[in-house]
Amino acid sequence: MKRREQYHAVVYALRHSTGLLYLGDLGCARWASLVVSGPARGQMWGDHTADGGGFFPLVDDDGRRMGFARWYRRWLDEAEEQVMRDAR
């Protein structure tokens, strides 16, 4: 197996994304996901496996891990700001 094929076999194995509910496309095949099972249940995680960044917890400005409610409120605020900018 070639090096790249080995990398893909490990990084893209289903066991790494089992228990994730993909909620938001962050662009360039990067995703925001809600963990729905396991010890991180209720937390939002980023999936940047497409560019080699792997999985990691999403954090707010204070460095605290985000749960769904905080992530969703932040997403709504950013969406509202974008609509207001576009309306000008």
The better pLDDT of the pair 54, 33 is held by 33
**pLDDT at position 24, please?**
87
* Chain segment 36-56, per-residue pLDDT in tens: 998 999 999 998 888 888 889
Provide the number of structural domains found in the chain.
Answer: 1
**pLDDT at position 29, please?**
83
Predicted structure pTM score: 0.76
Residue range(s) defining the domain that contains residue 32: 3-87
Contacting residues for 42 by C-beta, under 8 A, at least 6 apart: 34, 35, 67, 68
**Whether pLDDT at 70 is above 70:** yes
Three-state SS across 25-63? Answer: EEECCEEEEEECCCCCCCEEEEEEHHHCCEEEECECCCC
